[in-house]
Amino acid sequence: MKPSTIDKQNKNASAILSEIINQPTVSRASISSATGLNKSTVSEVVKQLIEAKLIVEIGAGESSPSGGRKPIFLKINKTAGVSLSIDIRFDQISLLTAYLDGEVIQTVSHHEQINKQNIITRLMKHISAIQQETPSTLFGLIGITISIHGVVHDNQISFTPYFDLDEIDLVTALKQHLAIPIYIENEANLSALAESAFNTPYTHMVSFSVHTGIGAGVILNDHLYRGYKGRSGEIGHTVLYPGGIDCPCGNKGCFEQYCSFNALMKRYRQIKNDQTLTYDQLINHYHEQDAETIDLINRFSRDLSIGLMNVMGAYDPEVIFINSEITDKLPEILPIVEQHISRSIYNEIPVYRSELGSKASLYGCAVYNIKTFLMVDQFRFNV
């Protein structure tokens, strides 16, 4: 029995599951006081959830000072099902499987050029391999969430500037092969969900993804904010320099034509007149105090700080996390960025380097799958 078939008429099951998944130790009594549900209702729903094998009882807790009965703790039955996360870049597909508490089982990456012709065949091959390697569980794969580096609205890809996936209906095509719930979501939005699930004190945050392109995922009041048609946080296509560099979106001077990884590398190779240079070589040049590279990084940092301040003005977050291989390998950029921000009205908003690295959106897919399967509003990683 899946959670959606339990107690469908009211929200009690999801309120109780939410307590169990998000608190380190939970008993029937603590659920009752946290949710305001009376004890007999809690006991009845807990009984259904245990019978459905979604939760389990674990050891007895300490007895109360008055000598009352020892409470029995409740935990999610994490091995009842498996979440599958998939991240699709134009040159790479990554997959991650996790149990219902978010514990990662396996992560794999395949380097291959992706387009609308080959995507379904490639995905089906990788999903079949994962299904064979994953331990068998009661519910099997509970959901597949796919991270897209582009705009997603209503389970459709509406804009992918660097490949042609916006010309196909990915979810419908996959559903012809798989009887598993399939969702797609923007990469930066998923990274924001993951950041929120790991950094729970913040209720307003922005996760800033700087990869081939630039996007921002926005969490407002603990909830992902997508905007009217999924374009919230599409900061990469706001204009930094009017009439500037051509962008595949059709505009000129877009932010990501100056501050994406590709933009930085293009400029660096132009300056050095060598198309073979790598990012590691840029870092070496920087550390060797090469004047041209220092100037390049200073200009990059200033442009990046403008984009960050635009996001700060639009959403007023408590904190911004930057997820990028650029700042991961060259953290010296952040103090320069902070210096620019310190001269603005946004000077109290900290900018941190994300610790989730290249797996951020994959964790976000797991958060989405688990929240949807368990019908819970919030999910925190307790692992």
Q: Which of 46, 190, 240, 254 binds Zn ion (CB under 5 A)?
A: 254
Q: Is residue 263 near Zn ion by the rule CB under 5 A?
A: no
Instruction: Report d(CA 199, CA 194) in Å as an integer.
Output: 8
**Shortest CB 213 distance to Zn ion, Å:** 9
**Shortest CB 329 distance to Zn ion, Å:** 25
Q: Is residue 29 near Zn ion by the rule CB under 5 A?
A: no
Comparing CB distances to Zn ion, the nearer of 17 and 240 is: 240
Count Cβ neighbours within 10 Å for each residue of 145-173 and write b for 16 or more, e otherwise.
Answer: bbbbbbbbbeeebebbbebebbebebbee
Comparing CB distances to Zn ion, the nearer of 263 and 349 is: 263
**Shortest CB 230 distance to Zn ion, Å:** 16
Burial of 276: CB neighbours in 10 Å, binned 0-12, 13-18, 19+: exposed
Nearest CA to 220 among 193, 248, 243, 239?
Answer: 193
Q: Is residue 247 near Zn ion by the rule CB under 5 A?
A: yes
**Shortest CB 247 distance to Zn ion, Å:** 3
Q: How far is CA 277 from the centre of its chain?
A: 31
The residue type found at 203 is T
Scanning 21-29, 201-209, 251-259, 362-370 for contacts with Zn ion by CB under 5 A, the matching segment is 251-259
Tokens 């991961």, located at residue: 328
Answer yes or no: are the C-beta atoms of 117 and 140 closer than 8 Å: no
**Shortest CB 244 distance to Zn ion, Å:** 10
Q: Is residue 239 near Zn ion by the rule CB under 5 A?
A: no
**Shortest CB 327 distance to Zn ion, Å:** 22
Q: Is residue 197 near Zn ion by the rule CB under 5 A?
A: no
**Footprint of Zn ion on residues 32-51 (CB under 5 A)?**
none
| Alpha helices, H only, the chain | 12-22, 28-35, 39-51, 119-133, 170-175, 187-198, 256-259, 261-272, 279-287, 291-315, 325-329, 333-342, 360-374
Instruction: Report d(CA 94, CA 111) in Å as an integer.
Output: 9
Q: Is residue 249 near Zn ion by the rule CB under 5 A?
A: yes
- Torsion (CA) 358, 333, 300, 308 in degrees, nearest 10: 70
**Shortest CB 233 distance to Zn ion, Å:** 14
Q: Which of 89, 226, 237, 285 binds Zn ion (CB under 5 A)?
A: 237
Scanning 22-30, 201-209, 215-223, 244-252 for contacts with Zn ion by CB under 5 A, the matching segment is 244-252
Q: Is residue 193 near Zn ion by the rule CB under 5 A?
A: no
Binding site for Zn ion (CB under 5 A): 237, 247, 249, 251, 254
